Amino acid sequence: MAGRRRIWTLEEKLALVAEMERCGNIAALSRERGVSTSLLYTWRRELRYAAEASQLPPRQEPMFVPVVAKASPSVPGDGMVEVEIGGTLVRIGPSVRIDLAAAILQVLRAAP
């Protein structure tokens, strides 16, 4: 499997996850199909998240998060951003991937 990079279609992913649920030995399945075990688990988790998200009622109005800006003790020009959501303070540095920062903020917004 090393050194290969494949593009998996949605149908292939769904079929492999379905097969994974019926299989007793996931490591053997991953070897047979030429896909890493961790990728199978990732696809299963993403499918579960998509199923949960489809059960949520649609939002009728856009959501806005109020932003409060105040001076922080951090070094000026360091590129650090601080976001407080529901009493939780998150510091996001300039080297953080945008998709990761967005996912963290979305989870915090959804938390009770």
For residue 9, what pLDDT is reported?
92
Average pLDDT over every residue of 92-112: 82
Bridge partner list, 85: 88
Q: Would the CA dihedral through 85, 86, 89, 90 be positive or negative?
A: negative
Which residues have CB under 8 Å from 44's CB, separation 6+? 17, 20, 21
Cut 0.85: pTM above it:
no
| 7-13-16-22 Cα dihedral, nearest 10 degrees | 170
Q: Would the CA dihedral through 38, 44, 45, 46 be positive or negative?
A: positive
For residue 101, what pLDDT is reported?
84
Q: Would the CA dihedral through 93, 98, 101, 105 be positive or negative?
A: positive
pLDDT band of residue 72 (cuts 50, 70, 90) is low
**Which position has the higher pLDDT, 17 or 96?**
17
Bridge partner list, 89: 84
